[in-house]
Amino acid sequence: MAATFLNHPWGLQGSCCIPSSRKFASSSLRFPSSSLSWHGHKVRGSSSFSDDPAAFISDAIISSHRHESPSESESTLILIRHGESLWNEKNLFTGCCDVPLTRKGVEEAIEAGKRISYIPIDIIFTSVLIRAKMTAMLSMTQHHQKKVPIIIHNESEQATAWTRIYSEKTTKQSIPVITAWQLNERMYGELQGLNKQETAERYGKEKVHEWRRSFDIPPPKGESLEMCSERAVAYFKDFIEPQLKSGRHVMVAAHGNSLRSIIMYLEKLTSQEVMNLELSTGVPLLYIYKEGKFISRGSPVGTTEVGVYAYTQGLADYRQQFDEMSH
Please report, in range form, the residues annotated as the binding site for substrate. Answer: 81-88, 94-95, 131, 185-188, 196, 212-213, 256-257
Residue 41: phi, psi to the nearest 5? -85, 150
230 as an active site residue: the answer is no
CA distances to 113, 226, 252, 323 from 142, in Å: 5, 35, 16, 15
- Give me the torsion for CA of 257, 263, 265, 267, rounded to 10°: -150
Q: Which amino acid is at 58?
A: S
- How far is the C-alpha of 77 from the C-alpha of 279, rounded, in Å? 16
Name which of 264, 318, 261, 309 is nearest 286 in CA terms: 309
Residue 185 annotated to the active site: yes
Residue 15 DSSP code: T
Phi, psi of 227 (to 5 degrees): -65, -40
Q: Note the residue count of the chain.
A: 327
- CA distances to 22, 36, 65, 90, 244 from 292, rounded to whole Å, are 32, 29, 21, 42, 9
In angstroms, the CA 315 to CA 176 distance is 22
d(CA 164, CA 159): 9
Q: Where do the H-state alpha helices sit in the chain?
A: 2-5, 59-66, 86-89, 103-115, 130-140, 157-162, 168-172, 196-203, 205-213, 225-235, 241-245, 256-266, 271-275, 313-325
Helix, strand, coil shares, percent, the chain, to 5: 45, 15, 40
From 82, 143, 249, 255, active-site residue:
82
Spot the catalytic one: 74, 111, 185, 241. 185
- Classify residue 76 by its DSSP letter: E
Catalytic residue positions? 82, 185
